[in-house]
Structure 1
Amino acid sequence: MRRFLLLGWLILYTGAAWGQAPATVSAAADAAKVAPKRKLQATRISTPLKLDGALDEAAWQAAPIATQFYEYEPTPGPIEKHPTEVRVLYDDNAIYIGAIMHDVSQDSILRELSARDNIGNSDWFGVFFDTYNDHLNAYEFIVTSGGVQFDARQSPTNGEDGNWNAVWDSHTALRGTDWVAEIRIPYSAIRFSKATEQVWGLNFGRQRRSSRQKFFWNEVKPAVSGFVNQWGELTGLKDLQPPLRLSLTPYVSAYVNHYPYNEQGKQNMTTSFNGGADVKWGINESFTLDATLVPDFGQVQSDNQVLNLSPFEVQYNENRQFFTEGTELFNKGGLFYSRRVGATPLGFGGVEDQLRAGYQNDDGSRHRGEFIVQNPGVTRLLNATKVSGRTSKGLGIGVFNAISNDVYATVQDSTSGARRDVLTQPLSNYNIVVLDQSLKNNSYVSLINTNVTRAGSTYDANVTGGLFRFANKANSYALDGRVVYSNRRGKAFGKEDDVTDQDGYKYYLSFNKISGKFTWGVDHGIESHSYNPNDLGLLFANNNISQSLYANYNIYKPFWKLNKLSTYASLSYSLLEQPRLYQDLGFYTGGNTTITKNFLTVGFDYSLIPVTRDYFDPRRTPLGKYYVRKPANTGLSGFISSDYRKKFAYDLNGGVRLFAADGDRTGRTSASLSISPRYRVSNQLSFVYALSVERNQNQIGYAGGLDSSLPYDNGFLTSFGGDEGDVLLGRRNVTTFTNTTTATYTFTNRMSFNIRLRHYVSNVHYRDFSRLHPNGIETPEPAYERNRDNTFNAFNIDAVYSWWFAPGSQVSIVWKNAGSSFFEANAATPLYFDNLSNTINTPHNNNVSIKVLYYLDYLALRPRRG
Structure 2
Amino acid sequence: MKFNTLIVLIICFCSTYLSAQKLVTNEISKRIYTTKKLVKAPIIDGKISDVAWDVVPWSSDFVENEPYEGTAPTYQTKFKVIYDAKYLYIALRAFDAHPELIQQRLTRRDGFAGDRINVVIDSYHDKRTAFVFTTTAAGVKGEEIATRNGANFDESWNPIWYTGANVDAEGWTAEMKIPFSQLRFGNAKEQIWGFNVARNIFRKNERSLWQRIPNDKAGFISEAGELHGLVDLKSQKQLEIQPFTVIQYDTYPKELENPFKDGSDFKINGGVDAKIGITNDLTLDLTVNPDFGQVEADPGAIALDGFQIFFEEQRPFFVENKNIFDFKFANGRDNLFYSRRIGRSPQRAANISSGEFADVPQNSTILGAAKFSGKTQNGWSIGVLESVTANEFAEIKQKNGDTREEIVAPLTNYVVARAQKDFNERNSYLGGIFTATNRNLNGNFSELHKAAYTGGFDFRHTWRKRDFYIEGNSIVSYVFGSQEAIEDTQRSMARLFQRVDAQYVNVDPTKTSLTGTGGKIKLGKQGGGNWRYNGGFIWRSPELELNDVGFLRKTDEMIQFLEANYLWQVPKGVYREIELSTEQKAIYDFGGNLNNLEYQISGDINWKNNWWTKTGIGINTQTYSNSFLRGGPRWKSANNRYLYFFFGSDRSKKFSFKLGYFGIRSDAGIYTRNRYVFSINYQPFDAFSLSLENEFNETKDKTQYIGTADFGNTQRYILGAISNDSWATTLRLNYSLNPNFSFQFYGQPFISRGRYAAFNFVNNASADSFSERVNPYTANQLSNGTDAEGNAVFLVDENGDNTTDYSFEKPDFSFVQLQTNLVVRWEYIPGSELFLVWSRGSSGAQDVNNSLTNSVGSQVLDVPAKDTFLLKATYRFIR
Please, what TM-score do these two structures have when normalized by structure 1? 0.88
The RMSD of aligned alpha carbons is 2.1
Per-residue deviation, 1:692: 1.1
- Please tell me the residue identity of whatever aligns with 1:212: N
Matches within 5 A, 1:487-636: 487-491=478-482, 500-516=512-528, 517-577=530-590, 579-596=591-608, 598-620=609-631, 626-636=633-643
Q: Secondary structure at the match of 2:323?
A: coil
Per-residue deviation, 1:296: 0.5
1:420 aligns with 2:417: no
Residue by residue, what CA displacement relative to the aligned partner does 1:576-608 show, whole Å, maximum 9, x if unpaired?
12x222210000110111111x21111102111
1:143 aligns with 2:135: yes
Per-residue deviation, 1:270: 1.2
Q: Secondary structure at the match of 1:332?
A: coil
One of 110, 113, 135 as aligned partner of 1:117:
110
Asked if the contact 1:452/1:462 (under 8 Å) is kept, the reply is yes
Per-residue deviation, 1:781: 3.7
Asked if the contact 2:122/2:194 (under 8 Å) is kept, the reply is yes
For 2:867 and 2:276, the matched residues in 1 are separated by 37
1:66 aligns with 2:59: yes
Asked if the contact 2:106/2:738 (under 8 Å) is kept, the reply is yes
Per-residue deviation, 1:829: 2.8
Question: Which position in structure 2 is the counterpart of 1:164?
Answer: 157
Asked if the contact 2:603/2:616 (under 8 Å) is kept, the reply is yes
- Please tell me the residue identity of whatever aligns with 1:850: L
Question: Which position in structure 1 is the counterpart of 2:833?
Answer: 810
For 2:346 and 2:536, the matched residues in 1 are separated by 37
Residue 442 to residue 730, structure 1, CA distance change in 2 (3 Å): farther
Which region of structure 1 is more displaced relative to structure 2, 670-679 or 50-59? 50-59
Residue 488 to residue 773, structure 1, CA distance change in 2 (3 Å): farther
Residue by residue, what CA displacement relative to the aligned partner does 1:523-566 show, whole Å, maximum 9, x if unpaired?
01211000111111111101101001110001111012101001
Asked if the contact 1:43/1:63 (under 8 Å) is kept, the reply is yes
One of 309, 316, 320 as aligned partner of 1:314:
309
Asked if the contact 1:248/1:856 (under 8 Å) is kept, the reply is yes
1:222 aligns with 2:223: no
1:682 aligns with 2:682: no
Residue by residue, what CA displacement relative to the aligned partner does 1:439-488 show, whole Å, maximum 9, x if unpaired?
33532111011111111254211110100001114212111110000010
Matches within 5 A, 1:700-849: 700-709=703-712, 725-772=715-762, 775-776=765-766, 777-782=773-778, 783-785=781-783, 786=794, 787-823=810-846, 827-840=847-860, 841-849=862-870
Q: Secondary structure at the match of 1:308?
A: coil
Per-residue deviation, 1:423: 1.7
Q: Secondary structure at the match of 1:247?
A: strand
Residue by residue, what CA displacement relative to the aligned partner does 1:730-787 show, whole Å, maximum 9, x if unpaired?
2211001111222211111111111121111111011122223574443334435533
- Please tell me the residue identity of whatever aligns with 1:467: D
Asked if the contact 1:347/1:494 (under 8 Å) is kept, the reply is no
Matches within 5 A, 1:388-537: 388-413=373-398, 416-439=400-423, 440-456=425-441, 458-491=449-482, 500-516=512-528, 517-537=530-550
- Please tell me the residue identity of whatever aligns with 1:160: F
Residue by residue, what CA displacement relative to the aligned partner does 1:143-192 show, whole Å, maximum 9, x if unpaired?
10000011010112971111111110001111212211100000111111
Q: Secondary structure at the match of 2:324?
A: coil
For 2:218 and 2:625, the matched residues in 1 are separated by 37
Q: Identity over the aligned pairs, expressed in percent?
A: 25
Q: Secondary structure at the match of 2:367?
A: strand
Per-residue deviation, 1:500: 4.6
Residue 47 to residue 420, structure 1, CA distance change in 2 (3 Å): same
For 2:156 and 2:372, the matched residues in 1 are separated by 17
Which region of structure 1 is more displaced relative to structure 2, 333-342 or 391-400? 333-342
Asked if the contact 1:372/1:409 (under 8 Å) is kept, the reply is no
For 1:507 and 1:742, the matched residues in 2 are separated by 39
Asked if the contact 2:258/2:357 (under 8 Å) is kept, the reply is no
Per-residue deviation, 1:370: 5.1
Residue 794 to residue 480, structure 1, CA distance change in 2 (3 Å): same
For 1:270 and 1:688, the matched residues in 2 are separated by 33
Residue 402 to residue 743, structure 1, CA distance change in 2 (3 Å): same
Please, what TM-score do these two structures have when normalized by structure 2? 0.87
Asked if the contact 2:37/2:82 (under 8 Å) is kept, the reply is yes
Residue 80 to residue 277, structure 1, CA distance change in 2 (3 Å): same
Residue 410 to residue 704, structure 1, CA distance change in 2 (3 Å): farther
- Number of equivalenced pairs: 788
Asked if the contact 2:38/2:55 (under 8 Å) is kept, the reply is no
Residue 628 to residue 34, structure 1, CA distance change in 2 (3 Å): farther
Residue by residue, what CA displacement relative to the aligned partner does 1:72-109 show, whole Å, maximum 9, x if unpaired?
11111113242111110010001011110111121231
Residue by residue, what CA displacement relative to the aligned partner does 1:826-845 show, whole Å, maximum 9, x if unpaired?
x4234123202321111211
- Please tell me the residue identity of whatever aligns with 1:511: L
For 1:375 and 1:760, the matched residues in 2 are separated by 26
Asked if the contact 1:136/1:442 (under 8 Å) is kept, the reply is no
- Please tell me the residue identity of whatever aligns with 2:755: H
Residue by residue, what CA displacement relative to the aligned partner does 1:238-295 show, whole Å, maximum 9, x if unpaired?
1001112101111111011012144546631111111111100001111100111110
For 1:492 and 1:288, the matched residues in 2 are separated by 42
Asked if the contact 1:34/1:221 (under 8 Å) is kept, the reply is no
Which region of structure 1 is more displaced relative to structure 2, 248-257 or 405-414? 405-414
Question: Which position in structure 2 is the counterpart of 1:8?
Answer: none
Per-residue deviation, 1:655: 1.7
Q: Secondary structure at the match of 2:322?
A: coil
Asked if the contact 1:336/1:537 (under 8 Å) is kept, the reply is yes
Question: Which position in structure 2 is the counterpart of 1:253?
Answer: 246
Q: Secondary structure at the match of 1:835?
A: helix
1:355 aligns with 2:367: no
Asked if the contact 2:480/2:486 (under 8 Å) is kept, the reply is no
Residue 739 to residue 726, structure 1, CA distance change in 2 (3 Å): same
Residue 151 to residue 132, structure 1, CA distance change in 2 (3 Å): same
For 2:21 and 2:774, the matched residues in 1 are separated by 59
Residue 628 to residue 765, structure 1, CA distance change in 2 (3 Å): farther
- Please tell me the residue identity of whatever aligns with 2:749: H
Residue 780 to residue 464, structure 1, CA distance change in 2 (3 Å): same
For 2:690 and 2:208, the matched residues in 1 are separated by 29
Q: Secondary structure at the match of 1:280?
A: strand
For 2:52 and 2:383, the matched residues in 1 are separated by 39
- Please tell me the residue identity of whatever aligns with 2:676: L
Question: Which position in structure 2 is the counterpart of 1:718?
Answer: none
- Please tell me the residue identity of whatever aligns with 2:391: D
1:691 aligns with 2:684: no
For 2:369 and 2:135, the matched residues in 1 are separated by 31
Which blocks of at least 5 consecutive residues in structure 1 are unaligned? 1-25, 357-368, 712-724, 859-866
Question: Which position in structure 2 is the counterpart of 1:304?
Answer: 299
Question: Which position in structure 1 is the counterpart of 2:649?
Answer: 642
Per-residue deviation, 1:58: 2.9
Residue 699 to residue 301, structure 1, CA distance change in 2 (3 Å): farther
Q: Secondary structure at the match of 2:582?
A: strand
Q: Secondary structure at the match of 1:230?
A: coil
Per-residue deviation, 1:396: 0.9
Question: Which position in structure 2 is the counterpart of 1:863?
Answer: none
- Please tell me the residue identity of whatever aligns with 1:837: G
Question: Which position in structure 2 is the counterpart of 1:375?
Answer: 360
- Please tell me the residue identity of whatever aligns with 1:226: G
- Please tell me the residue identity of whatever aligns with 1:673: Y
Asked if the contact 2:536/2:561 (under 8 Å) is kept, the reply is yes
For 2:524 and 2:536, the matched residues in 1 are separated by 8
Which blocks of at least 5 consecutive residues in structure 2 are unaligned? 1-19, 329-334, 444-448, 488-508, 767-772, 784-793, 795-809
